[in-house]
Structure 1
Amino acid sequence: MTVLATFWARLLHVFGWRANATSHLEKTLSALGAFCGIGLIYAVTHWLLPSEAALWVVASMGASAVLLFAVPHGVLSQPWAVLGGQCLSAVIGVACARWLPDSPLAPALAVALSILAMHYARCIHPPGGATALTAVVGGPVIHDLGFNFVLLPVLMNVSVILLAAFLFNSLFPWRRYPVALARLPEPPKAPSGMAPEDFYHALRQVDSYIDIQFDDLLEIMQLAEQHARAQRLEADDILLGACYSNALAGAGWAVRQVIDDAPKQRGRRDLVIYKVVAGAGQGNTGVCRRLDMANWAAHAVATEGKGWIRVTPEESAQRAAQR
């Protein structure tokens, strides 16, 4: 990897650019759901309110639509988060606007108090900050509504978008909203060697708000473990020329390459000769049974730039032969 490529990769990492496994269908459904939800809110709001006030409120609901339709399973997207976050923030915003009129501190105080209230009420919803700010800086049309702003348009719009999210997401079995409706009757088991209490302890150590349900985290780990088990190598997967990693973290990581074997031998005489080509013991050679190599290895790997990537045993052997 060139210096420029390394710099660019690090820059993207700093800015938070991450791999995205979301399918094209899911991305399209997110956009379509937001179109339906905001279209309905826009129509209802313009029917009941002056156009200027309607525009401010639709802007706030647009932020909610991103969560409800793009991340319907997220903690920040659940009904209580949307309802509590929006309405509490609206109340605080109106109070700041009325009790600190024309104060330069009112906008910042409204958003700050909204965040504090959402934390303690367990209803963090980022668009709530926009609603609180709107109540302060929205101008005379918003100010004239007073605390009615909480009921109409905020509560009304929240009700509309929640209904839209429930109806739209229910059309697709894999889109869970509210997420509690799709909860399994029995919580998923934690991966072997770890208990749910261990995950809870780890989350508390992070001491930061993470937008994922606790049960979802366990389910993700369980699925990852199942996938890892499905990818486990057998003796027949140990091929001449292929490289294998033990996938250990830290100083124990190593990559072995099979440099000689006896494919026609079986049982105890089915031996392979390997060389450690990376990691702990690099340069050393050894002999072991093919089955023992399969038990040691986590997966086959191949070089990619200055690092290693996971590949099939066949592809690893082919790449080695081409070198």
Structure 2
Amino acid sequence: MGDYLGFFHELRAYLGIERNNTSHREKLISALGAALAIACVFWATQRALSAGLIDISTSFFIIASMGASAVLLFAVPHGALSQPWALVGGHLISALIGVICHKLIAHQTLAAGVAVGSAVAAMYYLRCIHPPGGATALTAVTGGDAVYQLGFNFLLVPIFTNVLLILLVAVLFNSLFSWRRYPVHLGRRAKPVVTAEPSDRETEITQEDFAAAIQEQDSFVDITAEGLTELLELAKQHAERNVVHPKEIIAGRCYSNGKLGRLWSVRQVVDESMEPPPVQDRVIYKVLAGDGSYDTGICLRDDFRRWARFEVTLRNGHWVKSAESIDEEHPD
């Protein structure tokens, strides 16, 4: 059984299937926001068409890539790929490149490839990476006569009008919920900054450290350096409240080493020797999650206690501190 579980664990890792930490409420809010945004863009542009304010084929008064933008703006409103410059710049630059490629490259297959590749490069250098921009560039090349007849007007209608409307809805809708702020900088301005004194820490990680680490990784990360430092600062404050180890190691319960990333691990004590301590007092454990998943081992109870940071329980698919652990950390 353990071999099968290990196989599926590895398969999930290769496929990139991660646990989702968002609540059902947040998922429903994201879905509602995306639905309202597309409906508003569709309705507003249709009204403009009816009034004769926009002269364009009705098949392209809203482009499909706006659906992808809606996913980012409402499901990941704090992500770097979702911010206003990424949205506006990504779509407009990609549309411009797509139109130019259509006009200059006669072979459509080649034009499509060059358009999307050039759009990716341009978005990188202009700091406005927005994945739906690739679809916008492709639409300019493969959209057919309704798009070709527009020429460079394609940038104004439908691209700019669509982008402006969905951006407006994103700002208004996300402002209805205190924990969702779009643009993300609105949340930073309203949030008081509370940090521990550097002298209270053995090693103080700085903004420059994060910038260097991101550069060393040499891959785009969908979180800003500021957002990453804020997240780590909150985690540090949470960890620094008290550093304790479980008073007792009890068979049947689960414990975490409290580490981050690949070093994190959760073990369950499945059996114990019950021999007199300290030499014979051993426990048998199984790794339930994280480093060494589905492995088993045996060690002295005291060694296990030093490894364990706190007791945990599985709740809604996520490992959280048990009530006993919280009481130990905050006895008052």
TM, length-normalised to structure 2:
0.75
Determine what percentage of the aligned residue pairs are the same residue: 44
- Corresponding letter in the other structure for 1:83: V
Matches within 5 A, 1:137-286: 137-184=142-189, 189=195, 192=201, 193=203, 194-230=205-241, 232-233=243-244, 238-239=247-248, 241=250, 275=282, 283-284=299-300
1:254 Cα deviation after fit: 12
| Counterpart-to-counterpart distance in 1, 2:35 and 2:256 | 47
What does the per-residue CA deviation read over 1:182-222, in whole Å, with 9 as the maximum and x for residues that have no partner? 11477665994222222222111110000001121112112
Q: Residue 285 and residue 224 in structure 1: after superposition, are their counterparts in 2 closer, same or farther (change >3 A)? A: closer
Matches within 5 A, 1:81-92: 81-92=86-97
Gaps of 5+ in 2: 286-291, 314-318, 326-332
Aligned to 1:32: 32
| Counterpart-to-counterpart distance in 2, 1:10 and 1:254 | 17
Match of 1:17, SS? Answer: coil
1:50 aligns with 2:57: yes
| Counterpart-to-counterpart distance in 2, 1:224 and 1:261 | 39
1:313 Cα deviation after fit: 8.6
1:258 Cα deviation after fit: 11
Aligned to 2:328: none
Aligned to 1:121: 126
| Counterpart-to-counterpart distance in 1, 2:32 and 2:95 | 28
Match of 2:63, SS? Answer: helix
The alignment's C-alpha RMSD in Å is: 3.8
* Contact 1:246–1:297 (8 Å) recurs in 2: yes
| Counterpart-to-counterpart distance in 2, 1:45 and 1:160 | 9
What does the per-residue CA deviation read over 1:32-63, in whole Å, with 9 as the maximum and x for residues that have no partner? 11111100111233333322223xx4311111
1:67 aligns with 2:76: no
| Counterpart-to-counterpart distance in 1, 2:43 and 2:321 | 52
* Contact 2:249–2:305 (8 Å) recurs in 1: no
- Corresponding letter in the other structure for 2:106: P
Match of 1:91, SS? Answer: helix
1:104 Cα deviation after fit: 2.4
Gaps of 5+ in 1: 263-270, 288-292, 303-308, 316-323
Q: For structure 1, which segment, 218-227 or 202-211, has the greater mean C-alpha deviation from structure 2 after superposition?
A: 218-227
| Counterpart-to-counterpart distance in 1, 2:302 and 2:95 | 69
* Contact 1:90–1:131 (8 Å) recurs in 2: yes
* Contact 1:188–1:215 (8 Å) recurs in 2: no
